[in-house]
Amino acid sequence: MTKEQAREKMEVLRKELDEHNHRYYILDDPAISDYEFDQKLAELQKLEEEHPEFDDPLSPTRRVGGDITKDFPTVKHKYPMMSLSNTYSREELEDFLNRIAKLLGEDMEFVCELKYDGAAVGITYREGKLLRAVTRGDGSQGDDITTNIKTIKSIPLQLQGNSYPEEFEIRGEIFMLLEGFNKMNEERVAEGLEPFANPRNTASGTLKMQDSSVVAARPLDSFLYFVLSEERLFENHHDSMLKAREWGFRIPYPEKKYIAKAQNISEIFDFINYWEEHRNELPFEIDGVVVKVNSYAQQERLGTTAKAPRWAIAYKYKAEQVATRLNSISYQVGRTGAITPVANLEPVLLAGTTVKRASLHNKDQIEKLGLHENDYVFVEKGGEIIPKVVGIDLKQRQPEAKAIQYITHCPECNTQLIREEGEALHYCPNESGCPPQVKGRIQHFISRKAMDIEGMGSETIELLVNEGLIENYADLYDLQKDQLLPLERMAEKSAQNIIDGIEASKQVPFEKVLFALGIRYVGETVAKKLARHFETIEALMKASEEELVNVDEIGQRIAESVTGFFSEEANRLLTERLKNKGLQFEVVKEEGASNALEGLTIVISGNFERYSRTEIKELIEKHGGKNTGSVSGKTDLIVAGEGMGPSKRKKAEELGVKIIDEHEFARMIS
């Protein structure tokens, strides 16, 4: 394939992938399977790697993330990003309508929309291309989160058609889909971690994560609902939304009744009442309905107060609660030994589902509620995996009821619990003898993101532990096929697959092995940083807390956890056994790697002829440097290509940061 043929093929693939993204996320009408889409994306990625001279910053391949944003620059909003006034009753809403009717003195039409429970964002487009995305912040200025917003597939990087203005801003809400949120929390609970509190806070926190590849992996979605421009493009809000849909935006669906016109208070409450009854059927959370004056001319005449527009108001739903009896409290033990108390309830219908259990979080929460035996409790359904207890009906408390006493010993192995200073949870310290911890630690070890041992799952681990064949993850490497064959539902092929999977796991790189060990607070990203810094398990095991804290982004809590883990003789022996079995416990240096960029924090900006941006990032890491996405006082060097951002150049000049081109970069690493 010639260069010109490659360029043409890349353009065709980008256009096709953009169109399929649009059909899938905006029109809800996919034309190809996920597999076919992934194949086309992989083909485009390969061509972009082979021909970096045709790099496109808005390519669909950028959706997977990978850029690191150390700091989120503060950006002043071109148009103030106000909050809405809230109301909780029909009377208050009627007062609002009467008030604006008196100000206008003419008939009005309204638009009703769902009030999405997420994080507000303003996205600017120039010449049809996504330019910048900014959080609400304090209303006058917010944080630039462009890199993370680009990973959300329902937000277009390039608009459809050509009827959009040269530059405009569109605002909306970024939220987390409930199915994905619940799955994330199930994984966290299985690992002994505290579940995320709710989808709203998790979505907001995700948007400020430094690693955009982590953002890309989370189930974020969006609805965009307000167009802002220097010129008035439409006569009313409803028309602007329908037009924005033609440009490729995911606007609230009229056909699903997410948005509707209303002529009076009666029609407004038809919309409010419908969604109060049906909101639990939605795949995301809402906390009310927004009512807006439709006409832009009338909006301008009504104006704003210091804090909110006079032409819109939010009607907030009350949180759904029911009262039911507390039958008992059970205590779950996670793989790290974390104890999670759960209320076992008299079954009751809440938000369309039968609730039997509710979260109590920790000892402090139980004491704060003042729980007694057989209390009648108020249960609220939020975004958690299970609902939560939010209060007590004291009128129904029995006079002889005793206060709930939090357990002092592990419910599984009877070991006395500990609670470290500053921690919310209690822990069982019996790591090697507590059954849920033993099984959970091995299940974590074999998981896809860790050792990725094919042929094994949680049921297999349960069986192997119960049969006494393994007591820890190092025992996996002593298993023989003839030990597996007598097990229940274990055929010849299944047994061989397990043995082959265990053998293959010996090739898993050091950073994943380190993650697999299950050291508390050492997730995938931390494991990668520690592996690359210390390079061998011996060096890491000998490291002091001070040496660990000096590693970029490693704090005191992680340092204490790592040194604590390796101070335990049992953990040192397990690590030694794994090493003797042939697992990878040192970083395998790539061919051509060096320390030429060691200690340097480097920013790349613009487009390059010799390399793709991804290649430069990989080369920076390969030669010991650190790649970041924004210029700061810690930046040592900028590798600049054609079209370097003017703001980065200006900041670099102000800070005296050296700027080099790709040719000088090549000389540095040669």
Residues classed as catalytic: 115
How far is it, in rounded angstroms, from Cα 365 to Cα 426? Answer: 13
Both structure tokens of 198: 């709710």
Listed in sequence order, the DSSP H helices in 280-332 are: 296-302
CA dihedral of 514, 519, 522, 528, whole degrees rounded to 10: -10
Measure Cα distances from 503 to 477, 571, 583, 661 in Å. Answer: 8, 22, 9, 46
User: Which DSSP letter does residue 235 get?
Assistant: S
- CA-closest candidate to residue 488, choices 455, 463, 466: 463
User: Which DSSP letter does residue 599 get?
Assistant: T
- CA-closest candidate to residue 113, choices 239, 341, 339, 290: 290
Both structure tokens of 657: 């940061």
3-class SS of residue 503: helix
Both structure tokens of 513: 């092995």
How far is it, in rounded angstroms, from Cα 647 to Cα 142? Answer: 17
**Cβ contact 60:14 at 8 Å:** yes
**DSSP structure string for 55-85:** --TT-GGGGG---B-S---EEE-SS--PPPP
**Cβ contact 168:228 at 8 Å:** yes
How many other β-carbons are positioned within 10 Å of the β-carbon of residue 106? Answer: 9
Backbone angles phi, psi at 620, to 5 degrees: -60, -50
**Cβ contact 497:490 at 8 Å:** no
Dump strand ranges (E) for 207-262.
Answer: 220-228, 259-262
How far is it, in rounded angstroms, from Cα 28 to Cα 30? Answer: 6
Residue type, 204: S
- CA-closest candidate to residue 602, choices 587, 590, 619, 589: 619
Backbone angles phi, psi at 391, to 5 degrees: -175, 180
How far is it, in rounded angstroms, from Cα 613 to Cα 604? Answer: 8
- Given the DSSP bridges, would you call strands 312-316 and 86-87 parallel, antiparallel or unpaired? parallel
Dump strand ranges (E) for 11-158.
Answer: 74-76, 86-87, 110-116, 119-126, 129-135, 141-143
First vs last Cα of the chain: how many Å apart? 29
**Cβ contact 515:532 at 8 Å:** no
- How many degrees, rounded to 5, is the angle at CA 526 between CA 529 and CA 500? 90
**Cβ contact 659:640 at 8 Å:** yes
How far is it, in rounded angstroms, from Cα 348 to Cα 323? Answer: 8
Measure Cα distances from 408 to 141, 339, 404, 426, 438 in Å. Answer: 49, 11, 12, 9, 20
528-532, long-range: CB < 8 A, 24+ apart = 529/553, 529/554, 530/554, 530/562, 531/587, 532/587, 532/621
Q: Is the dihedral of CA 234, 237, 242, 245 positive or negative?
A: positive
